[in-house]
Amino acid sequence: MIRRGFWQAGLTLVAAATFAMAFKGIFARLIYQYGVSVNALLIWRFALAVPLFWLGGMWLLRRNPAPAGGLGHKQWALCAGTGLLFFVSAWCDFHAIESLGASLSRMVLYLFPAMVMMLQAVERRRWPEGRSLLIFTGAWLGIALVLMPGWHGGTVDPAGLAYGFGAALCYALFWRASQSLMKPLGSVRFNQLSNSFTLVAMLAFLLPGVPLESLWLPAPALGWMMVMVVFSTVIPFFLMFEGIRRTDTGRAGVVSMFGPVVTVLAAMTVFPDEHLGPVQWLGMALVLASIAMLKTGGNRGS
């Protein structure tokens, strides 16, 4: 009974984190309106977020100490790998938001639970059951409907679509790799270390190519940046990975599938150019219904 409550509490944390993260694309579009580039946005986001991860983590660890013990070489390598994966995913994702808009980019990104299912199948060296493959096919069919020409009054940018799929794949790999670090590190230490490596990757790969003057942010853009950092980055990261530690990536992915619905509804409220036609709404419903049916056997996944 205690175990079941612990598992359900994990899914509640994932749901709360998903709601907050769903507004990331909205905040990004509001920041883009002030001429901020994707690379400058990413650098600012993690330059502001990482100190908050460490400060918030220190406060949380005083209340609930993390598992004792140092990190081995393998764990350091995994932390660095997850940080690099999230860097690539975030870089692709924000380019997708810029090209496709907040709504459509979320729909492509949220194919990652189906990708997590396929990664689990590869790890277990056996095909998913027929029902899971049917669900996976339904999700991809729904995405095809969402991507049909006619929404936004035009066709979909292929480059934006490629960015979206790249973000989804890297995010799925990030989820699977992160779960192996939850028990030895705890979710708080994992957030501190993994996001620090993400910032290092951004400074190494992005900063040299960003003109110094483009890093200057107008006051309104800086305000929206702070809102995105606190509400859609730091707080939901702590909630999300504590939730994943208590459950598994398969079920967490299922719960996270209401994120695109929140984003689409918010985007249509804020931006007049963000809308879906009847076919795209049907596709969105098919994607969400398909992936929401994903199940992993037992109370715990691999």
pTM: 0.81
CA-atom Rg of the chain in angstroms: 19
- Cβ contact 114:291 at 8 Å: yes
Mean pLDDT for each 10-residue chunk of the chain (302 residues)?
A: 56 89 90 94 96 92 69 87 96 90 79 81 74 74 70 68 94 88 84 94 94 93 97 93 78 73 80 77 80 52 37
SS3 302: coil
Look-up of token digits 């934006």: 160
Count of beta carbons in the 10 Å neighbourhood of residue 207: 15
User: How far is CA 180 from each of CA 77, 141, 176, 244, 301, rounded to the nearest angstrom?
Assistant: 12, 31, 7, 10, 12
Q: What is the pLDDT of residue 1?
A: 43
